[in-house]
Amino acid sequence: MKYPIPRGTFDILPESSYKWNYIESLFKDIAERYNYRRITTPIFERTELFERSVGNTSDIVEKEMYKFQDKKGRNFALRPEGTAGVVRSLVDNALASQGSLAMLWYMGPMFRYDRPQKGRYRQFYQYGIENIGSHHPFIDAEVISIGWVLLKTLGLKGFELQINSLGDDTDSAVYDAALISYFTPYKKSLCQDCLNRLERNPKRLLDCKVSTCKEIAAQAPNILEFLSDDNQQHFHLVQRYLKLMNIPFIINPRIVRGLDYYTHTAFEFVTDSLGTQNTLLGGGRYNKLVEQMGGKPMPGIGFAGGFERLMMVMEQEGCSFGKKPLPQAYFIVAGDVAQEPAIKLMQSLREQGIALTWNPDKISFKAQMKSADKSGATWTLIIGEDEVAASTVTIRNMETGKQQAVSISDTDIIAEYILNNK
Ligand code: AMP
């Protein structure tokens, strides 16, 4: 009996793991360069946490959560995104206070029960940034710049930064009313989803993908005309800092983001190489969320991006994933007497930091040589009966073909050959 993998999930197989490691470690390096520190939260939380933060009118909560009850009948959900858990932890552990920001990064699997397609999975991997405790517009620009540096350093070319401001609650309420009166006369032409959202969350009508809705939305009022002076000034300063940092952007007043907690700055990095799932990473401010989660009122901003989409675009654009990991040395062990000295030497070299491998099964010398070649190791260490008799090991450089006998007890010298590639 074979068991198929769950729909919308995938295995990361050994031959492509190095690509994931590459992106992961680059993201870690860049986040730490900005002085952000890792936070790891559980992959499941109380369902209510997501309902209250991501919002009951969002697609994620309405349709896409993996919910379950534990043995005591408590309601949990697999996390559909990272911010809610991070903010829960920030409140639990008092990670930020007046004058001291929480600067956090995370990565891990997220779960959404959506229709799988290219760039959209049911289990996917996100990396993310959260900066909590400041409303300074420079922080908005700094968080955006982390995303920019990541995409640029990965070597991506065809992407664009789009920014918008959603204002605060007051701006939003006035704007929502304007949207409702704009869309109401078109009720007959709107899709069912838009009709459902019209009263509850009218901003979502702006990012509907149905073509008739899109046509109607094209003439809808523009959020930027509804911002208070303060919020306009904030948005203006974010743009000024981005320009100072030489980060190109366009203003897209249609960016509303699918999650309810966003206020003020919202942004996305989009690419033209991915078809409909074209957002590489997205985020924004969430100035009310900490308070909503039971903490002291505190502003925050963050973003999240998906590894899979990065990987796909990088492959498409021929970006480098760094070096494929290879063993430094391959051990060839010929004859039973050679096994014990070989095992001892191997252990000692591995303890000195050398990556080496061998095949302990009884296969011919020729077959072992072939495996050594295939492994990509620069060095082959050979121990056969002659070497055992002379207490030596033969070290062969696979690139030059040069080889040399070295005393088997001189592990430092053997290690030096391999480490310095001499
Ligand atoms: P969101 O949390 O919806 O704002 O998404 C942020 C980023 O996560 C997107 O730009 C994608 O890169 C990635 N993402 C979101 N949902 C999925 C999914 N179902 N499959 C793969 N990647 C996703």
Position 209 scores a pLDDT of 84
More confident residue, 323 or 39: 39
DSSP 359: -
CB–CB of 337/388 below 8 Å? Answer: yes
Give the Å distance between the CA of 302 and the centre of ligand 1.
14
Q: Which atom of ligand 1 is nearest to the CA of 82?
A: 2
Portion of the chain with pLDDT greater than 90, in percent = 85
Mean pLDDT of 317-335: 94
pLDDT digits (tens, 9 = 90+) for 174-196: 999 999 999 999 999 999 989 98
CB–CB of 144/163 below 8 Å? Answer: yes
Scanning 288-394, the segments in alpha helix (DSSP H) are 289-292, 307-316, 339-351, 365-375, 385-390
pLDDT at 368 over 80: yes
Mean pLDDT of 292-305: 95
Mean pLDDT of 152-164: 96
* Dihedral angle over CA of 249, 253, 259, 262, nearest 10: 80
CA atoms within 13 A on the CB side of 122: 15
Mean pLDDT of 292-320: 96
DSSP 132-187: ES---HHHHHHHHHHHHHHHHHTT--SEEEEEEE---HHHHHHHHHHHHHHHGGGG
Give the Å distance between the CA of 117 and the centre of ligand 1.
12
CA-nearest residue for atom 16, ligand 1, is: 120
CB count within 10 Å of CB 5 equals 8
Position 10 scores a pLDDT of 97
Q: Roughly how many angstroms between the first and final C-alpha of the chain, as a whole number?
A: 52
Q: How far is Cα 263 from Cα 270, in angstroms, rounded to an integer?
A: 20
> Residue type for 10, please?
F
Mean pLDDT of 129-145: 97
Q: Which atom of ligand 1 is nearest to the CA of 112?
A: 19
Q: How far is Cα 308 from Cα 316, in angstroms, rounded to an integer?
A: 12
Which of 329, 411, 318, 415 lies closest to 373, judged by CA?
329
CA-nearest residue for atom 15, ligand 1, is: 306
Portion of the chain with pLDDT greater than 70, in percent = 99
> Residue type for 408, please?
I
Position 261 scores a pLDDT of 83
Mean pLDDT of 211-239: 95
pLDDT digits (tens, 9 = 90+) for 342-355: 999 999 999 999 99
Position 273 scores a pLDDT of 81
Strand partners, 302: 130, 284
Give the Å distance between the CA of 306 and the centre of ligand 1.
5
pLDDT at 394 over 80: yes
Position 97 scores a pLDDT of 80
Q: Is residue 383 very low, low, confident or very high in pLDDT (cuts 50, 70, 90)?
A: very high
CB–CB of 238/143 below 8 Å? Answer: no
**Can you read off the two tokens belonging to residue 268?**
């996305």
Mean pLDDT of the chain: 94
Position 339 scores a pLDDT of 93
Q: How far is Cα 30 from Cα 420, in angstroms, rounded to an integer?
A: 29
Mean pLDDT of 137-164: 97
Q: How far is Cα 273 from Cα 318, in angstroms, rounded to an integer?
A: 12
Scanning 218-364, the segments in alpha helix (DSSP H) are 229-244, 289-292, 307-316, 339-351
Per-residue exposure over 350-360, b if at least 16 CB sit within 10 Å of its own CB, e if not: eeeebebbbee
* All CATH 3.40.50.800 domain ranges in the chain, comma separated: 329-419
Pocket test for ligand 1, best of 277, 286, 303, 307 (most atoms within 8 A of CB): 277
Residue list, ligand 1 pocket, CB within 6 Å: 81, 112, 114, 119-121, 124, 126, 258, 279-282, 304-306, 308-309
- What is the radius of gyration, based on Cα positions, of the chain? 28
* Dihedral angle over CA of 24, 26, 28, 29, nearest 10: 160
Mean pLDDT of 216-229: 94
Position 277 scores a pLDDT of 81
> Cα angle at 330 between 326 and 336, to 5 degrees?
155
CA-nearest residue for atom 13, ligand 1, is: 306
The residue with tokens 């397609």 is 117
Say which CATH topology domain 14-167+246-316 has.
BirA Bifunctional Protein; domain 2 (3.30.930)
CATH code at 329-419: 3.40.50.800
Which of 20, 269, 228, 28 lies closest to 129, judged by CA?
28
Mean pLDDT of 35-48: 98
- Backbone dihedral angles phi then psi of residue 314, each to the nearest 5 degrees: -60, -40
Q: Classify the C-alpha dihedral 311-312-313-319 as positive or negative.
A: positive
* All CATH 3.30.930.10 domain ranges in the chain, comma separated: 14-167+246-316
Position 422 scores a pLDDT of 63
Q: How far is Cα 386 from Cα 401, in angstroms, rounded to an integer?
A: 20
- The SS3 call for residue 403 is strand
CB–CB of 241/137 below 8 Å? Answer: yes
pLDDT digits (tens, 9 = 90+) for 78-124: 999 999 999 999 999 999 887 789 999 999 999 999 999 999 999 99
Q: How far is Cα 80 from Cα 225, in angstroms, rounded to an integer?
A: 33
Position 244 scores a pLDDT of 98
